[in-house]
Structures are given as structure tokens and as C-alpha cells.
Amino acid sequence: MTPADLKALVRTIPDFPKKGIQFRDITTLLGNGRGFAASVEWLADEVRGAEAIAGMEARGFIFGAAVSARLGLPFLPIRKSGKLPCQVIGVDYELEYGLDRLEMDPQSVSDGQQVAIVDDLLATGGTALAATALLRKAGARVSRAAFVIGLPDLGGSKRLADEAVDVRALMEFAGD
């Protein structure tokens, strides 16, 4: 399947979860087995060489865990607030349509471990930057992030590049 085929599997819902947001919904991509597998394969190729994969709750778990299993690498779950039973480090952040908090177990990372971030979508980059900050605080090296969808108009890729994180996106939605 080509990137264009995969892009055609993403559904756009206007004004969700707030007026003015064009919501790029991966539910329809996940519902196509070959499309899901091709997306995971593409992401895995982009992050090959990393020593662990981090994914952000919730949609980042779907792709991140699949990529980890595909590459035989550890998966580091970065969770929304209040979900982890251990001592955590956390960070508040802003995303395209609100505010939230991410937390992780700092002991899940070994010092200097090369960790790649995988998520479904990059918009403002608030979520991925928060994950990068947390992972680095825990001792990881983070230099690559791979997404199924990039929204270049929202500047996430530039913000991550400013933090020395190289961004890859399987498809982009720009100006539409």
C-alpha cells in the first residue's frame, strides 16, 4: 500500500473535539488490517536502530507497542496523569485542543538509552515535546520521532527540530 492509499484510510471529522479543529481520525485506518500493518512497518523502518520505543497514551500506545513488538524492543508507556502505580516524573503541556499532563516511571529508562518516540499524530508538538523532556529527564537520549500523520501547518516538526529531534511522518495534511 502506498502512503496515498494509507492517507485515504484516515477519516476527517470537522469541529471535533472543538469548533475549528479538523480531527484526523485513525479509527478507519486501524479498521483496515493491511493498512494498519503497512503503517506499523513504515514506522518500524523509520526508528530502526533505537534501543527502546516510547508511546504516549492513548493512540501512541496502539502504534508504539506494535512497532516495539515488530522490532523486538522494550516499550516505554508514557501515561496520562494518575495512571501509574509507582513514583513518577510528570510534565504539564498544551496540545492543539487543550491542556494535559504526561507521566512516566523514571526507572523504565536506562542511562543513555537511545529511545525513539512513536505516536499517531504530530500537531503543535506539545505532546511529543513533553514526552521528550520526560524521557531526557529520566536519562534517555531522544533523537528521533515517527508519526503516522503530520500537520505541518501547526509547527510541531520545527519545535521538535529545535530540540534536536528528527521528525518523520508517513503522511501529511496541510492546508485542508
Residues that bind ligand ADE (CB under 6 A): 21-24, 95-96, 121, 123
Whether residue 59 lies in the annotated active site:
yes
Pull the grid cell for residue 63: 502504534
Q: Does 123 interact with ligand PRP (rule: CB under 6 A)? A: yes
In the shown chain, the binding pattern of residues 20 to 59 toward ligand PRP, with x for contact by CB under 6 A and - for none, equals ------------------------------------xxxx
The set of residues, in sequence order, having a beta carbon less than 8 Å from that of 148 and lying 6+ positions away, is 6, 26, 29, 39, 43, 63, 119, 120, 121, 169, 170, 171
The set of residues, in sequence order, having a beta carbon less than 8 Å from that of 63 and lying 6+ positions away, is 39, 40, 43, 55, 118, 119, 120, 148
Q: Among ligand PRP, ligand ADE, none, what does residue 122 contact (CB within 5–8 Å per kind)?
A: ligand PRP
Contact positions with ligand PRP (CB under 6 A) in 153-172:
156
As a whole number of angstroms, the distance between CA 92 and CA 102 comes to 7
What is the smallest separation between the CB atom of 112 and ligand PRP, expressed in angstroms?
A: 26
Among the listed residues 59, 70, 136, 168, the single catalytic one is 59
Q: Among ligand ADE, ligand PRP, none, what does residue 119 contact (CB within 5–8 Å per kind)?
A: ligand PRP
The CA distances from residue 97 to 41, 141, 150, 154, in Å, are 29, 28, 16, 12
Q: Which is nearer to ligand ADE, 96 or 103 (CB)?
A: 96
Q: CA dihedral in degrees (65, 39, 133, 102; nearest 10)?
A: -60
Q: Among ligand ADE, ligand PRP, none, what does residue 21 contact (CB within 5–8 Å per kind)?
A: ligand ADE
Q: Which is nearer to ligand ADE, 6 or 121 (CB)?
A: 121
**Which residues are part of the catalytic machinery?**
59, 96
